[in-house]
Amino acid sequence: MESVNLRVYAKFRDEINDLKKEIEELKRLNGELEKKVIDIYGAYETIQYTSRGRLMSCSAEISRLRQENKELRKDLQERCG
Note the pTM of the prediction, 2 decimals: 0.54
If you compute the radius of gyration of the chain from its CA atoms, what whole number of angstroms results? 35
Tell me the per-residue pLDDT of 21-76, one tens digit each, with 9 for 90 and over: 999 999 999 999 999 999 999 999 888 888 877 777 778 888 888 999 999 988 88
What does the alpha-carbon distance between residue 54 and residue 48 come to, in Å, rounded to a whole number?
10
pLDDT of residue 64: 87
Domain count for the chain: 1
Dihedral angle, C-alpha 60, 64, 67, 71, nearest 10 °: 180
Report the pLDDT value the prediction gives residue 39, as an integer from 0 to 100.
92
What domain range includes position 14?
Answer: 1-81
Task: Give Cα separations from 59 to 19, 52, 69, 70 (angstroms).
Answer: 58, 10, 15, 16
Q: What confidence score (pLDDT) does residue 58 get?
A: 79
- Residue 20 confidence (pLDDT): 97
**What's 81's DSSP letter?**
-
